[in-house]
Chain A
Amino acid sequence: MKDVVRVAAGQGFWGDWLEAPRRQVEGGPVDYLMLDYLAEVTMSILQKQKARDPAFGYARDFIGAVDSVLPAVTERGVRIVANAGGVNPTACARAILKLADQRGARGKLTLGVVTGDDLLTRLDALIADGHELRNMDTDEPLSTVRDRVLSANAYLGSEPIVEALGQGAQIVITGRSTDTALTMAPLRFEFGWANDAWNLLAAGIVAGHIIECGAQCSGGNCLYDWENVPDLASVGYPIVEGRTDGTFDIVKHPETGGRISVQSVTEQLVYEMGDPRSYITPDVVADFTTIRLEQAGTDRVRVSGIEGRPPTDKLKVSIAYRAGFKAIGTLVYAWPDALAKAQMADHVLRERLDRLGLTLQSVLTEYVGASACHGPLVEPRSDHPEVQLRIAVRSEDENSVERFTRELAPLVLNGPPSVTGFAGGRPKVEEIVAYWPALIDKTLVRPAVEIMT
């Protein structure tokens, strides 16, 4: 058994820095590269792509990421764990094998594919059997939006990933796994942690939470002493140095920018936190009030003391459904009296929208540069050099949203003066794909692992 296992974060979301995976495998020793691609609504976007072409439905950035690190995988034994499979992990694996063909690496590559999270084709049967899949926020049963559902995936835990690693997979591709399982599974596999070693599993989950957003724990988006965080242009993504006793260090490669401090790690720990005593995952419930942090060196934070307890008998299900349309339009008004001009433009526009009799469920006006983010907390002032008027509308009726998008540009010539910033053209009408979190009995979800070579 290794004394230390290094799990490096290479992507914190789909759209993260393309350079990061390669920098993680080239900058120093790592055992695993962890790539997290799936945000809550990503699955629905992928489901739409799969509907258009059954060969798609996965995070296509992943192919380029693997290409950028392929020699490290085939020659140096670095293994990859990624939830890039989206709603089509098998197609994703095929694309990786095709890449391996092109690079002359086919035969040197074993893939593990985790499936079983996709519940879309089982939804009607589940509802018929009395599983209502009530919205965890609103308590409404899924039947109220059933005909608008685009995707439904259970969050899987670490077990199928551990199984795939045990079968020799060098790259494990999952669909909707929890972000934290992507980090915990390699640690659990390497150290042979039992499935009821609650404190150890919880430690792995906390390690996963700290690095799942990439550089957000190593100096990126860090408010503490932000002006002095060194060289963000070369920011080092985080690496977990895990040990068998469940303690671990958060580090980054030498000669990289950013900063790993108790403060930067604490900011990430509280990110998207609910009740800190109950961080619920399929594997374990972690207690964030037991975490001990210590600065153990430059850019090295030691994490210890973590306690966990048994998980619940439910899995969370991420469901995406069509929820109408929206559009966002902006215009910029200049000094003098920039805010007053923008306010008058808003008034004029709303009066016109009223007269048109459009069906709009919501119209929201913000004055960017004046009060968009802090609303009524901002002290009034009048000397803004410019203010961006931002008007957004939402409706079940696509035509009403479309008509709204035609009402912005006329204001440039027939509304208040000193207006600019309309070069982007008419606002785009977007279909809203909304998120429906629900719970399902664990026994109803059966993860599967397939090895592909």
Chain B
Amino acid sequence: MKVQLRRLAHARSGDKGDTANVGIIALRSEWYPLLVRELTVERVTQHFSGMITGPVERFELPNLNALNFLLHGALDGGGTLSLKTDAQGKVFSTAMLRLELDVSDAEVEG
């Protein structure tokens, strides 16, 4: 079945220059492996096509049940140069939570 990421994770984002960082945190520790499997660099790159101009990097934090993504070229130059409402990527995390993941019922039941 398809499950929107917001049902499986919470998130916070910030900026470093023209790069937005998105931290994705599993709502339950048993869901973390699912996020590692589904939230690949390819999947996230595809999700943000049209919103970012650079590559995506992913880092794993199993100790926090979290993944950290760097989305390069996400902020129209970033900082004070950016003309965007979300110039500092504060809500980029919520855009990530729109992702629809393919999971089995057994993986997310309860």
Interface residues of A (CB under 8 A from B): 40-41, 137, 221, 223-224, 263, 266-277, 288-293, 305, 323, 326, 328, 362, 364, 366, 368, 372-377, 390, 392-394, 432-435, 437
Contact = CB atoms under 8 A, between A and B. Distances in A.
B51 A267 contact: no
A268 to B, nearest CB: 7
B50 A376 contact: yes
Interface residues of B, number: 39
Contacts of B45: none
18 contacts: A41-B79, A223-B93, A267-B10, A267-B23, A268-B12, A270-B21, A270-B25, A270-B64, A271-B13, A276-B59, A276-B61, A290-B63, A372-B85, A374-B98, A377-B51, A394-B83, A433-B80, A434-B79
B95 A377 contact: yes
Task: Decide if the interface of chain B is mainly helix, strand, loop or mixed.
Answer: mixed
B68 interface: yes
A43 B73 CA distance: 25
B21 A274 contact: yes
A252 B11 CA distance: 23
Given A271-B14, A274-B70, A364-B76, 16 more contacts: A221-B12, A223-B94, A271-B12, A271-B13, A272-B21, A273-B23, A275-B59, A288-B64, A289-B62, A290-B63, A291-B64, A372-B85, A373-B91, A392-B84, A435-B80, A437-B17
Interface of B: 10-18, 21, 23, 25, 27, 47, 50-51, 59-66, 68, 70, 76, 79-81, 83-86, 91, 93-95, 98
A273 to B, nearest CB: 5
Contacts of B93: 223
SS class, residues of chain A in contact with chain B:
mixed
B95 A432 contact: no
A21 to B, nearest CB: 24
Contacts of A305: 63
A227 to B, nearest CB: 13
Given A270-B12, A276-B61, A435-B17, A376 B80 contact: no
Nearest to B48: A377
B64 A266 contact: yes
User: A-B pairs with the 7 shortest C-beta distances?
Assistant: A270-B23, A392-B83, A272-B14, A364-B83, A267-B12, A224-B10, A376-B50
